[in-house]
Amino acid sequence: MNLKRVVVTGLGTINPLGHSVPEFWENLVNGVSGAGPITRFDASNFRTQFACEVKNYEPTEYFDKKEARKLDLYAQFGLIAAKEAIKDSGINLEQENKKRFGVIWGAGIGGLETFFEECKTFVLGDGTPRFSPFFIPKMIANMGGALISIEYGLKGPSYTTVSACASSAHALVDALNLIRLGKADVIIAGGSEAAITQAGVGGFNSMKALSTRNDDPKTASRPFDKERDGFVIGEGGACLVVEEYEHAIKRGARVYAELVGGASNGDAYHMTAPDPDGEGAADVMLLAVEDAGITPADVDYINVHGTSTGLGDIAEPKAITKAFGEQAYRLNISSSKSMTGHLLGAAGALEAIVCVLAVKNNVVPPTINCSTPDPELDPGLNFTFNKAQEKNINVAISNTFGFGGHNACIVFKK
């Protein structure tokens, strides 16, 4: 069977490092941390009092007041990212067959703030069940993608992938395969998340998953560092316009990179911990490389999951050496979460954008905040610590691993 080629023609994001792709990329390659004290709520009684929030965000700059009240923050971030990506792609929606134009969106949690506030109002009330008519549609995880579809009248494949931190990476894998098989011409793929809430921070604190470096938030996300003590929660949205190659060329689109492969599998190991031997992670990388029709020797850069947690930061490098063998030592590796924090369900799409821009610009963003590499790490691996590196990047892959053992890997090529 002849599979169609798939390319990336548009990018959009709003995240802790910027309200647009150019702003995000500039801060990323310059090693800027997006962490700071939490402003969404009074966090003084929480073990973790900082996060990677979207800075200077005012909903009324993007939506009118009435519309904003109907939208959970995660959906707002998704609509903003999609708008930038569609504009960036230069696509003329009026000339498209919208029945072949889809939306596949990822969200690990969805409208957590809406859920928390509505339930709090009920619990603290007199027992009368007073709930907003927008409660359910604001909260449910599929609504971020649905609203993008509605906004632009897109009637092709339309659904949401929910696989914790791997959600938006799975959205991209699905988009790749649907276009390859001729089921769609264009797909808006990405994800959004807004879990910097009392429930989100409190819940992750109770798991001892978050860093508690309250005295120095900007250095708290420190993947692979001996002194790391947990991840830093982030928020935002990230979107890629994914398009069939001939369709893109016919309309004269600017192509960022080719999406050549993707794979997913499961660790089948634990609710929250990765397989310590990295077997599932190694397998999913090899499956993605095989799917791309390349070899491990062709890969130049890996944007790792790299969350700044004790177990994950050891298991993933093991997986890389297991999958790539001697080739692992000529790769560049870096974790953009050292700057953005962990965007949960939106992480895969944001890190896919990082890979696309690394391929386009021949720059490897750094892993910041590492002063003492963990002695358990293989010292021969190049983690691109603390400073970006110029390098000819023909192929980049993005790893995303979710709670429950959900693994995804995506491959981009010049």
Half-sphere exposure at residue 98, Cβ-oriented, CA atoms within 13 angstroms: 12
Residue 38 lies in a domain: yes
Q: Are residues 305 and 397 in the same domain?
A: yes
* Spatial separation of the C-alpha atoms in residues 75 and 59, rounded to whole Å: 11
Pick from 224, 257, 290: which residue ends a domain?
A: 257
Q: Are residues 149 and 38 in the same domain?
A: yes
Q: Per DSSP, what are the bridge partners of residue 192?
A: 237
Q: Are residues 266 and 253 in the same domain?
A: no
Q: Are residues 179 and 252 in the same domain?
A: yes
15: left (phi over 0), alpha (psi -120 to 50) or beta: beta
Q: What is the pTM of this model?
A: 0.97
Residue 2 lies in a domain: no
pLDDT of residue 124: 86
**CB distance 303 to 335 below 8 Å:** yes
Q: What are the tens digits of pLDDT across the range 16-72?
A: 999 999 999 999 999 999 999 999 999 999 999 999 999 999 999 999 999 999 999
Q: What CATH number did the domain enclosing 334 receive?
A: 3.40.47.10
Residue 249 lies in a domain: yes
Q: What are the tens digits of pLDDT across the range 315-329?
A: 999 999 999 999 999
**Digits of tens for pLDDT over the chain (414 positions)?**
789 999 999 999 999 999 999 999 999 999 999 999 999 999 999 999 999 999 999 999 999 999 999 999 999 999 999 999 999 999 999 999 999 999 999 999 999 999 999 998 888 888 888 899 999 999 999 999 999 999 999 999 999 999 999 999 999 999 999 999 999 999 999 999 999 999 999 999 999 999 999 999 999 999 999 999 999 999 999 999 999 999 999 999 999 999 999 999 998 999 989 888 899 999 999 999 999 999 999 999 999 999 999 999 999 999 999 999 999 999 999 999 999 999 999 999 999 999 999 999 999 999 999 999 999 999 999 999 999 999 999 999 999 999 999 999 999 999
pLDDT of residue 192: 98
Contacts of 58 (CB under 8 A, 6+ apart): none
DSSP 222-241: -TTBTT---B-BB-EEEEEE
Number of domains in the chain: 2
Q: Among the residues of 90-208, which ranges form H helices?
A: 112-123, 135-139, 143-152, 167-180, 198-206
Q: Is 263 exposed, middle or buried (0-12, 13-18, 19+ CB in 10 A)?
A: buried
Closest to 270 measured CA to CA, from 309, 321, 237: 309
pLDDT of residue 51: 98
Tokens 């007073």 label which residue? 130
pLDDT of residue 394: 98
Pick from 230, 257, 284: which residue ends a domain?
A: 257
Rg (alpha carbons) of the chain, rounded to whole number:
20
User: What's the domain range around 274?
Assistant: 262-413
Residue 1 lies in a domain: no
Question: Which residues are part of the catalytic machinery?
Answer: 165, 305, 342
pLDDT of residue 123: 86
pLDDT of residue 127: 84
* Spatial separation of the C-alpha atoms in residues 381 and 302, rounded to whole Å: 11
Helix (H, G, I), strand (E, B) or coil at 75: helix
Pick from 223, 257, 291: which residue ends a domain?
A: 257
pLDDT of residue 128: 87
* Spatial separation of the C-alpha atoms in residues 308 and 337, rounded to whole Å: 8
Q: Are residues 239 and 309 in the same domain?
A: no
Strand 101-106 relative to strand 186-193, pairing: parallel
Q: Are residues 200 and 280 in the same domain?
A: no
Q: Among the residues of 226-346, which ranges form H helices?
A: 245-250, 279-291, 312-324, 337-340
pLDDT of residue 331: 96
Q: Are residues 136 and 205 in the same domain?
A: yes
